[in-house]
Chains A and B, each alone.
Chain A
């Protein structure tokens, strides 16, 4: 780093300062990763089943819904907003896709999926419009919207197909969670992700160097690539092992590449495009963004719509995972997991700070807690308590990180 002519505050060596610095900087994902590793180690010690191929694959499909919901809520949290209707919007989207791919209607699956997605996006856009136009707290608007959507969804579920709910009858919808890539394609997918991420990191570094800008240290980059490669190879191996009991089941579940593609897309939007930059600017300092000529209100509505879109994808995964939805199997609390996942992943409740990768890790942590506690026969109540503790810990990390920013003034 080059020298400063305007004085920096002198660096102190207290561990709290070091912690604050860590939380404030780009390495904000480290606390989440540490938490994840600790949970995995704990559950593996308590239950030898945890890291077995069948369970890992199960874990990934369980995590898909949490991860997508956390990503959906991240769009809102980045702007300092919240959408409490995302849980029911997602259930509704899954329900619509289920109904219209049912043999009784027999719509082509892309049309039925699209219907669910469009419905969720419209609901979110209405919430966004009301929030922006009438300057109401999104918390209240979307609380109302949640009740409305909940009512509509339950009404429909109790009415459709003689009140028995919606079974999944379409192969594509079922295979979102239950289907797998062939082992060969699984390996191609894993290797493509690892090589792609590594190449991107190195090319970017080389170009920055060439432009005479600061670039990350080589060892950090190599370390990151090694870790990514190790995780990739481990997962590639896990997914190539037969995990079926009667018939052979191998390969990466379809849900995984779908989530990866979405994470990649969103990360690029947030990190590399004008759109993403404006999201961070509005979330960090809406007034500054407005003064810089950014159409803040329009971007707020876009964030709501992206949240709705992502929640709809989560809804498709949800109905696929459950095999169908009846009014008795709906769950009002899933939206809270969306918020919890994002916050655990380091997305700030106050807006302006957080990454999509963080939301993914947060969603995975929720799934690990649920899966692990079930394995050691501590389901239900214990799951709530542990999730609550992790969530509060994550919020404290957020607040400490935020306070250190103010101290830095």
Chain B
């Protein structure tokens, strides 16, 4: 673990009207770590990831990426800074092909006059999409199939593969194993580990505590908008984690 945290939140607070969603949240995340982010419904998990990914701006506090304070004006700023987020509803366009989805917003153009007119280099994108997906441990066959033809697990794998492929620093996964079968969940956990081993920091939000305990290096527990526990995964069991989440342990 190196000196500078790849992502740091300092005293971040966020309210919606009179509802206080996050109160004085601070933590540091390092490269090559999978950090579990757990908490009951309404604990502030969604607010926290939306703040990190630029959907919301914090009312107070600051966000540092690789030691530099950053202010997001839009989710796109966070993406440019190397933070990729995967939301519960997978952010894929159903009627575009796998390759198109991988390159959505980052299209390659042809290297000629047509390219300047906006014409796409579809072949290169397809080839690269397949190669990159394989690098993070996913093989989905032809990149020309549309996402609507894929099963839920395959869609999720493509979405995570895309996040892992483009993220420079952090990927945030919001309930990536929801609605997935056991075997497909294992695939997803595998992709997460592959991303960590490539030096990314993975923020893993989940209600499935066995998955969290299995794959994370560290767990942050949120309750009522505050961080109540931040400790290495080895210090938790399912029972103690559940107790911390619900507040019965204190």
Is A285 positioned at the interface, with any CB of B under 8 Å from its CB? yes
Are A274 and B118 also in contact (CB < 8 A) when A213-B142, A408-B151 are? yes
Asked if B95 contacts A293 (CB within 8 A), the reply is no
Is B138 positioned at the interface, with any CB of A under 8 Å from its CB? yes
Quick one: which of A284-325 are within 8 Å of B by CB? Answer: 284-285, 287-294
Give complex CA distance A4, B157 in Å: 13
Asked if B91 contacts A287 (CB within 8 A), the reply is yes
Candidates B79, B126, B151; contact of A9 at CB < 8 Å: B151
Kindly list 6 other residue pairs between chains A and B, CB separation below 8 angstroms, not including A272-B119, A280-B93, A294-B104: A2-B139, A5-B140, A273-B117, A280-B95, A288-B93, A408-B151
Asked if A208 contacts B149 (CB within 8 A), the reply is no
Is A277 positioned at the interface, with any CB of B under 8 Å from its CB? yes
Contact with A along B206-249 (1 / 0, CB 8 A): 00000000000000000000000000000000000000000000
Is A243 positioned at the interface, with any CB of B under 8 Å from its CB? no
Give complex CA distance A7, B87 in Å: 23
Candidates B93, B139, B155; contact of A352 at CB < 8 Å: B93
Is A1 positioned at the interface, with any CB of B under 8 Å from its CB? yes
Give complex CA distance A213, B141 in Å: 10
Complex interface: chain A residues within 8 A of B117 (CB): 273
Asked if A291 contacts B91 (CB within 8 A), the reply is yes
CB-nearest residue of chain B to A405: B148
Is B89 positioned at the interface, with any CB of A under 8 Å from its CB? yes
Give complex CA distance A214, B141 in Å: 9
Candidates B109, B123, B152, B154; contact of A211 at CB < 8 Å: B123
Q: Name the prevailing secondary structure of the A interface residues.
A: loop
Asked if B89 contacts A287 (CB within 8 A), the reply is yes
Complex A-B: 24 CB contacts under 8 Å: A3-B141, A4-B141, A4-B154, A6-B187, A8-B151, A8-B154, A24-B148, A211-B123, A211-B124, A211-B127, A277-B107, A280-B93, A280-B95, A280-B100, A284-B93, A284-B95, A284-B96, A285-B91, A288-B91, A288-B93, A289-B104, A352-B94, A352-B95, A405-B148
Write the nearest CB–CB distance from A351 to chain B, whole angstroms.
9
Give complex CA distance A207, B143 in Å: 16
Are A408 and B120 also in contact (CB < 8 A) when A280-B96, A288-B91, A291-B85 are? no
Give complex CA distance A211, B128 in Å: 11
Give complex CA distance A9, B148 in Å: 13
Interface centre among A1, A24, A352, A409 (most CB of B within 10 A): A409
Quick one: which of B114-153 are within 8 Å of A by CB? Answer: 117-120, 122-124, 126-127, 138-144, 148-153
Give the A interface residue count (CB, 8 A): 40
Asked if B144 contacts A214 (CB within 8 A), the reply is yes
Asked if B75 contacts A213 (CB within 8 A), the reply is no
Asked if B75 contacts A212 (CB within 8 A), the reply is no
Asked if A25 contacts B149 (CB within 8 A), the reply is yes
Asked if A277 contacts B100 (CB within 8 A), the reply is yes
Asked if B91 contacts A1 (CB within 8 A), the reply is no
Is A281 positioned at the interface, with any CB of B under 8 Å from its CB? yes
Is B164 positioned at the interface, with any CB of A under 8 Å from its CB? no
Is B92 positioned at the interface, with any CB of A under 8 Å from its CB? yes
Are A292 and B96 also in contact (CB < 8 A) when A6-B138, A8-B151, A25-B149 are? no
Is A275 positioned at the interface, with any CB of B under 8 Å from its CB? yes
Is B105 positioned at the interface, with any CB of A under 8 Å from its CB? yes
Interface centre among A8, A274, A291 (most CB of B within 10 A): A291
Write the nearest CB–CB distance from A340 to chain B, whole angstroms.
22
Write the nearest CB–CB distance from A88 to chain B, whole angstroms.
31
Is B76 positioned at the interface, with any CB of A under 8 Å from its CB? yes
Give complex CA distance A190, B82 in Å: 52
Give complex CA distance A353, B94 in Å: 9
Write the nearest CB–CB distance from A341 to chain B, whole angstroms.
20
CB-nearest residue of chain A to B124: A211
Complex interface: chain B residues within 8 A of A275 (CB): 118
Quick one: which of B28-61 are within 8 Å of A by CB? Answer: none
CB-nearest residue of chain B to A212: B127
Give complex CA distance A30, B149 in Å: 18
Asked if A274 contacts B94 (CB within 8 A), the reply is no
Give complex CA distance A82, B172 in Å: 35
Write the nearest CB–CB distance from B12 to chain A, whole angstroms.
21
Give complex CA distance A294, B107 in Å: 11
Write the nearest CB–CB distance from B107 to chain A, whole angstroms.
5
Asked if A213 contacts B127 (CB within 8 A), the reply is yes
Complex interface: chain A residues within 8 A of B150 (CB): 408
Write the nearest CB–CB distance from B179 to chain A, whole angstroms.
8
Give complex CA distance A207, B126 in Å: 13
Give complex CA distance A405, B138 in Å: 22
Quick one: which of A80-121 are within 8 Å of B by CB? Answer: none
CB-nearest residue of chain A to B184: A6
Complex interface: chain A residues within 8 A of B184 (CB): 6
Is B183 positioned at the interface, with any CB of A under 8 Å from its CB? yes
Quick one: which of A251-295 are within 8 Å of B by CB? Answer: 272-275, 277, 280-281, 283-285, 287-294
Contact with B along A176-210 (1 / 0, CB 8 A): 00000000000000000000000000000001100
Give complex CA distance A284, B229 in Å: 40
Quick one: which of A1-42 are within 8 Å of B by CB? Answer: 1-9, 24-25
Complex interface: chain A residues within 8 A of B100 (CB): 277, 280-281
Asked if B94 contacts A285 (CB within 8 A), the reply is yes
Give complex CA distance A352, B184 in Å: 27
